[in-house]
A and B are shown apart, each in its own frame.
Chain A
Amino acid sequence: MIYDFIIVSILLLLAYFGSYALYHKNFINKAVHIRLWNILILFTFLVSAGTGFTLLGLVEYGLALPVSQVFLYWHIKLGIAMFWIALFHIHSYWKSSKVRKIPDRLQNKEREGKY
């Protein structure tokens, strides 16, 4: 099986820099840019982690199913995609996570589930 590591990586990098350039030049909102990559990371995570966890469970309990091979293929393929998209995700939120401070008053409300 071929996992097309280089092709997948180049395509994702081009797509990210394309969407980042569109956002930077005000063609799209920051929210749209962020949401697009959040949806992609969610999807790749669900498939990659879901198949990974299923495989792990099967291996741990000594079970081998015919679908395991398909699961392994998609686990790796979407794992490669998730690796890059997770780096884009860290890049998107790195600055905001450093700056964002919530006042104590709102923190208390959040604890109580009101905020």
Chain B
Amino acid sequence: MKKIYVLILIIFLTPIAVYAWNDCPYSLVNDPFPGQCPRYEDTNQDGVCDHSQSPSGSSSNNSSENRETDRNAANISSSDIQNAKSVPSENYFLVPLSITILIIYLVTYLFYLENRLKRDFFYKIWNYVLIISFLVTGATGLILMIVITQGITSSWNLTIDFWHAEFGIIMVVSTLFHFHLYWKQLKKVVKA
């Protein structure tokens, strides 16, 4: 039985180990310009995102150049590795933000159950939270898509990405509350 567990663990961990050299969060390999996400970075100007390249891949690409270039390439690739290691892991506050919104929802729901909050007002609050979070998530998502497909690189890309994720979290959690509020209607939709 233990063997099966170990095997499952190996199967699960293998892809992570295989892609360990690559710090692209989406596991992209040799992602060409303009890239698939706002993290696109090309320090060695080879038209491929540094995050999607293996250190050996970037040095082998430069091996056809002369010795001086090789030295530069070696410097670039080693600095790439350093950059890759020093890239801070993105913190999107997934768990704390979700729990905070859940607590706020439960408090307002409690107020509603205790007649301290009118039904219309309670529903309106969460509908507006959903609409606002949807509009911000949608707008930032569209901006990101345009920025990425057009290859526009700016310092704002990661900021937009961050807020897209934050408002996305709020939108998803408040959509689940929306399902709770309109559960009967939702059941009718799902039923044939």
Contact = CB atoms under 8 A, between A and B. Distances in A.
B55 interface: no
B44 interface: no
B141 A42 contact: no
Contacts of B112: 111
Given A52-B172, A111-B112, A64 B27 contact: yes
A14 B34 CA distance: 31
B89 A64 contact: no
Given A59-B92, A60-B91, A52 B168 contact: yes
Contacts of B91: 60
Max chain B C-beta neighbours (<10 A), residue from A57, A65, A102: A65
B175 interface: yes
Given A5-B145, A55-B26, A86-B134, A42 B189 contact: yes
B71 interface: no
B33 to A, nearest CB: 13
A67 B142 CA distance: 23
Interface residues of B, number: 42
B15 A65 contact: yes
Interface string B148-185: 01000000000000000100110110010000000000
A37 to B, nearest CB: 10
Interface string A57-72: 1111011111111011
Interface in A56-115: 56-60, 62-69, 71-72, 76, 79-80, 83, 86, 90, 97, 101-102, 107-108, 110-111
Interface residues of A, number: 40
A5 B145 CA distance: 9
B92 A60 contact: yes
Interface string B5-32: 0000000000110110011111110000
B13 to A, nearest CB: 10
B26 A56 contact: no
Nearest to A83: B138
B15 A60 contact: no
A104 B2 CA distance: 60
Interface of A: 1, 3, 5, 35, 38-39, 42, 45, 49, 52-53, 55-60, 62-69, 71-72, 76, 79-80, 83, 86, 90, 97, 101-102, 107-108, 110-111
12 contacts: A38-B189, A42-B186, A53-B94, A53-B172, A63-B16, A66-B27, A69-B27, A72-B37, A83-B142, A86-B134, A86-B138, A111-B115
Given A39-B190, A72-B37, 10 more contacts: A39-B189, A42-B189, A49-B171, A56-B94, A57-B94, A63-B16, A68-B25, A80-B145, A110-B119, A111-B112
